[in-house]
Amino acid sequence: MTTADEALDDIHEQVEAETPDDITISRVQFEGAELVIYTPDVKAFAARDRLVPNLAQTFQKRITVRPTPDALVPQDKATPEIREIIPDDAGVQSIDFDSDTGEVLIEAEKPGLVIGRRGNTLDEIRTAVGWTPEVVRTPPIESSTVSNVRNFLKQERQDRREILERVGRQIHRPTTSEEDWVRITTLGCCREVGRAAFILSTPETRILIDCGDKPGAEGEVPYLQAPEALAAGPQSIDAVVLTHAHLDHSALLPILFKYGYDGPIYTTEPTRDLMGLLQLDYLDVASKEGRTPPYESQMVRETLKHTIPVEYGNVTDIAPDVKLTMHNAGHILGSAVCHFHVGEGHYNVAFSGDIHYEDTRLLDGAVNDFPRVETLVLESTYGGRNDYQTDQADSERNLEAVINEVHEQDGKVLIPAFAVGRSQELMLVLEEAMREGRIPTMPVYLDGMIREATAIHAAYPEHLRERLRDRILYEDDNPFLADQFQQVDGGDEMRRDVVDGEPAIILTTSGMITGGPIMSWLRLLGGDPNSTLTFVGYQAEGTLGRQIQQGRDEISMNDTAGNGAERVALNMGVETVDGFSGHADRAGLESFVETMNPRPERILCVHGDESSTDQLSSALYQKFNMRTVAPKNLETFRLA
């Protein structure tokens, strides 16, 4: 019998002791951080008002109570009973039973109506059929990603539960070390942008935070082989925490599973789905460009299967001595500032991930309020001394001016944009500008992954700004569904129709013109002096986007008939409108630190090029008198 088993036996006894005699406790089990109690007497359990909160208090755990099989109404009888209880206009799409957990997953267009006031409807279902209802929303825009992920997870639920049980045992193992320290090892993204990866370690625990690739150096993973990373074996890492879905943070996670890692990945639910979308696209792009991808799509599925979703603000045990809390980071849907509480108040570290300090149309600004925090690891993308961006209102006016001018000359506005985050922000800007008449209403064509990424946004309205959430959920006024947004489905034929048609705006990937449908658009539109290529995002050194921005006026690409390189002269206008970045600018980074509560003692400035990290580090030291450093990759810092 292992020590984890003994601990569970102890807990079982304690639970028995604290529950009335008329309630039988069949089994207790950890699943991840949660304590799961199996009982045939679910109703009696639920009837005792304070029982679950009291147990949660006793064990300092989230508690889930599950019925044993004998307490369940058979599925063929339960289904009609459940449909009977739920109001018709909830729009129930599917009812799906998991006999191992006694849970029934109900997908509905309006989950609120399934839940009922204060959970009344859920209680009614539970009482009637014994099954524990879980509710998910049917995405208001059909998203193949969301439905594929949900179906996959349903199908793998046996494996999932085994994973959760194993993780539960690991989290609740007894601690062994008498030492007491906290360390951060920088694996990537120091004095550079890309390949974000850190190890947070204590004598007990090693946590990998992010695992990205470096744009322009795809597949390069030397840091994963460092002794501090995986060289001590894939199981030497206890947990992975993912701040957000962008590939420079998430691309290499599936490799862990190729190497044999089988532990958990903690992240938000939308990040899980966006990550799956982007990783599969990453494989797709690699194979289209003739590169051998560093992993197979099976590994993306393993990644999804091992992901344990975390909600903003919930404190979650992820190791015997580490608690994780994720907070909105304002950067993209699901992005998180990750707060780690180590030991019993021993030390607190926050990783900013990528942040946007101000509210945008899409998301609230980043959270910087914590119970305690001694060290902050802060992104520095725009940390340079001149990295101040135009404010949102000015940016929008500038964009509107460009659009109006091009519209007047009967041209097209071609906007390269990242599929996730920037595109949705622009959609909101364009939708409002048209609705309020500041620009003429005209078609906005979405090419590449943008539509799918937008559908994922719509599936998680709780993560969007309140006004936007309300429009989507309660006012049946989903701006992403506005008529002018049209998906480009028909390949080059449809693109040619668009080019030959009326004035329009085209939003298309990739955001830095490094491939993707933007290449086709440039071939079709590049020669048109009435149209304008409009940059709204950061163009990294070395990308074609940056070169065009700097004046390059001819590009070569493989022609469609496969007859080698075709030269395309760029006669179209080229404009740059800044202020739409998903990153805080220099002012935003300083404000994030200045208003942070409490102020940290120490800041590591990372995720920016050498001058940005250096300049931000110096400035924060001088302004706020903190210990700041711009680390190099592959360094290790003792925090305590």
CA dihedral 138→143→148→149, nearest 10 degrees, is -70
- Cβ distance to a second copy smaller for residue 385 or 632: 632
Q: Which of 235, 287, 556, 636: binder of a second copy (CB under 8 A)?
A: 636
405 or 635: CB nearest a second copy: 635
Give phi and psi for 158, each to the nearest 5. -65, -50
Nearest distance, CB of residue 186 and a second copy, angstroms: 9
What residue has token string 């921005």? 549
Residue 103 token pair = 């849970």
10 Å CB burial of residue 507 (0-12, 13-18, 19+) is: buried
Number of residues that this document lists for the chain: 640
Place of tokens 């004095």: 191
Quick check: 345 and 639 in contact, CB under 8 A?
Answer: no
In angstroms, give the least distance from the CB of 21 to a second copy: 48
Chosen residue from 172, 206, 339, 523 binding a second copy by CB under 8 A? 206
Stretch that binds a second copy, among 43-51, 66-74, 546-554, 628-636 (CB under 8 A): 628-636
Contact call for residue 219 and a second copy (CB under 8 A): no
Q: Which lies closer to a second copy via its Cβ, residue 234 or residue 537? A: 234
Tell which one of 83, 385, 435, 632 touches a second copy (CB under 8 A): 632
Which of 59, 152, 181, 621 binds a second copy (CB under 8 A)? It is 181
Are the C-beta atoms of 226 and 250 separated by less than 8 Å?
no
CA distance 264 to 386: 40
Among residues 567 and 638, whose Cβ is nearest to a second copy?
638
Cβ-based nearer residue to a second copy, 229 or 427:
229
Q: Please state, in angstroms and rounded to a whole number, the distance separating the CA atoms of residues 311 and 408.
A: 47
Cβ-contact 211, 256 below 8 angstroms: yes
175 forms part of the interface with a second copy (CB under 8 A): no
Q: Rounded to the nearest 5°, which phi and psi values hold at 372? A: -150, 150
**If binding is defined by CB under 8 A, does position 312 make contact with a second copy?**
no
* Number of residues in contact with a second copy under rule CB under 8 A: 22
Question: Is 222 a binder of a second copy (CB under 8 A)?
Answer: yes
177 binds a second copy (CB under 8 A): yes
Contact call for residue 565 and a second copy (CB under 8 A)? no
Span 184-203, contacts to a second copy by CB under 8 A: 185, 201, 203
With binding defined as CB under 8 A, does residue 217 bind a second copy? no
Residue 273 is labelled as binding a ligand: no
From 183, 397, 469, 471, residue interacting with a second copy (rule: CB under 8 A): 183
Nearest-angstrom CA–CA distance, 574 and 20: 74
Return the structure tokens found at 426.
């622009």
Binding site annotation covers 248?
Answer: yes
Q: 50, 117, 567, 638: which one contacts a second copy (CB under 8 A)?
A: 638
3-state secondary structure 48-88: CCCHHHHHHHHHCCCEEEEECHHHCCCHHHHHHHHHHHCCH
Does the protein bind a second copy through residue 205 (CB under 8 A)? no
246 annotated as ligand-binding: yes
- For 442, other C-beta atoms within 10 Å of its C-beta total 18
244 is in an annotated binding site: yes
**Do the beta carbons of residue 357 and residue 588 sit within 8 Å?**
yes
| CB 175, CB 33: distance < 8 Å | no
Site for a second copy in 225-254 (CB under 8 A): 227-228, 231-233, 236
Where is the binding site, in residues?
Answer: 244, 246, 248-249, 331, 354, 607
Binding residues for a second copy, per CB under 8 A?
177, 179, 181, 183, 185, 201, 203, 206, 222, 227-228, 231-233, 236, 632-638
Which residues belong to the annotated binding site for Zn(2+)? 244, 246, 248-249, 331, 354, 607
